[in-house]
Amino acid sequence: MYVSLKDVAERAGVSFQTVSKVLNGRKATVSDATRERIMAAAAELGYVPNALARGLVKQSTYTIGIVADSFDDWFLSQFVVGAELEARNRDHSILVSTEAGGAAAEQGQGYAQSLLERRVDGLIAAAPSAEEDEKAAQVLRSRLPAVAIHHVPGGGVPVVGSSHSATGRIAAEHLLLLGHRRIGSITGPSRRRVTESRMRGFRSALEAAGIAYPDSAWTAEADWSAEGGYRATAQLLARAPELTALHVHSDMMATGALAALADAGRDVPSDCSVIACDDLPFSGYLRPPLTTVRIPARRSGERAVELLLDLIERKPVGDPPKDKVFLPVELVARHSTAPPRS
């Protein structure tokens, strides 16, 4: 079905190994005439190299694997876009797998199984749902060069990303500066580290301002979705009408929060401010435009690949790899936040 080096060789009247030399640019040893004959033959026949065979002998596929949870997630898909960009720059390609847990695991496929079978040269763990998974951690640690965007039990895997606690802190400080004292939180799933870290940063800022935060009373948990955000907000509002501001852990949930606030007849920002994080492409087009903390998703993907590739190509006596790379987050002040009504 496909033409092979041998087919090209036959047509050009040389040995297939010579064709290999030419097509891989190891020029020194072939005459110009032959080279051209070979190139022509390859083009006419429509030769497409076989990455399987090449990978087999080179013991490297120039490919890096990403274990992600799902493309549903904005952060993850942006992360992959960034990763792909950087990989392309450095002559590698990206393989994405969703075998972190859930459906795949039920079918008996291990963490990143298909990636390992395909012999990727390195692994990027981008599946927070597996952040507590011991087995996954073992794979990451022992098999291959790897980096992660989240905590890996037992460590030993460099982490790339932005500081979640800083994200929470920045949000809190912005609200504090405007004069808010009674701030509620719509969080992601509480078992996730990111949720805990954001709350830590958030709380620390409040404490620094000498404000107590009644955890259970002013917090509602959701699942990152707009729908979840709507429900959690509606509940929280009913429970704690005294709040003058909401710190929402994602723009998507904030979209729901804005709707819930509107439906409750509370004006944003005059009755209640809202600050979120992510900075989705449409966040500035919600009404009111959403104030948020921008998370550099794409950039994280780029940096993860950079780091991983450095790790893979590490010189024998290279410098020890960094074990944490933090990318800065940034406050994007729009109009969903304002001083509380006095």
Partner DNA sequence: GAGGGAAAGGCGAACGCTCGCCTAGGAAGC
Partner DNA sequence: GCTTCCTAGGCGAGCGTTCGCCTTTCCCTC
C-beta of 62: minimal distance to a second copy in Å? 10
324-327 and 159-162: which strand pairing?
parallel
If one asks whether residue 114 binds DNA (CB under 7 A), the answer comes out as no
Residue 59 contacts DNA per CB under 7 A: yes
**Of the ranges 27-35, 144-152, 252-260, 273-281, which one interacts with DNA (CB under 7 A)?**
27-35
Q: Crossing angle, helix 251-263 and helix 226-239, to 10 degrees?
A: 50
Do 247 and 168 form a contact (C-beta atoms < 8 A)? yes
The distance of closest approach from Cβ of residue 50 to DNA in the complex, given in angstroms and rounded to an integer, is 3
Residues 218-247 that bind a second copy (CB under 8 A): 225-227, 229-230
Q: Which helix (H) or strand (E) holds 57?
A: helix 51-58
Three-state DSSP string of 121-163? CEEEEECHHHCCCHHHHHHHHHCCCEEECCCCCCCCCCEEEEC
The tokens for 303 are 């940096």
Q: Which of 15, 17, 24, 70 binds a second copy (CB under 8 A)?
A: 70
Which parts of 73-102 interact with a second copy (CB under 8 A)?
77-78, 80-81, 84-85, 88, 93, 95-98
Question: What tokens were used for 154?
Answer: 């037992």
Interface with DNA: number of residues (CB under 7 A): 29
Evaluate whether 116 touches 139 at the Cβ level (below 8 Å): yes
Contact status: 1 vs a second copy (CB under 8 A)? yes
Stretch that binds DNA, among 2-10, 172-180, 202-210, 217-225 (CB under 7 A): 2-10
Using CA atoms, how far apart are residues 41 and 224, in angstroms rounded to an integer? 55
**Token pair in block for residue 289:** 């435009």
Site for a second copy contains 207 (CB under 8 A): no
Report, in Å, the least distance between residue 78 CB and a second copy. Answer: 8
Distance of CA 229 to CAs 36, 90, 175, 186, 226, Å? 63, 40, 19, 7, 5
Based on the shown chain and the rule CB under 7 A, indicate whether residue 101 belongs to the binding site for DNA: no
For 330, list phi and psi in degrees, rounded to 5: -145, 135
Q: Does 287 engage in binding with a second copy (CB under 8 A)?
A: yes
Phi, psi at residue 212, to the nearest 5°?
-85, 145
Residue 189 as a binder of a second copy (CB under 8 A): the answer is no
With CB under 7 A as the contact rule, the residue among 40, 44, 58, 287 that binds DNA is: 58
Coil, strand, or helix at residue 258? helix
CB of 209 to a second copy, least distance (A): 32
Footprint on this chain of a second copy (rule: CB under 8 A): 1-2, 48-53, 55-56, 59, 61, 70-72, 77-78, 80-81, 84-85, 88, 93, 95-98, 103-104, 107, 113-114, 116-119, 225-227, 229-230, 252, 255-256, 258-259, 262-263, 281-282, 284-287, 289
**Which residues contact DNA by CB under 7 A?**
2, 4-6, 13-18, 20, 23-24, 26, 28-31, 33-34, 47, 49-50, 53-54, 56-59
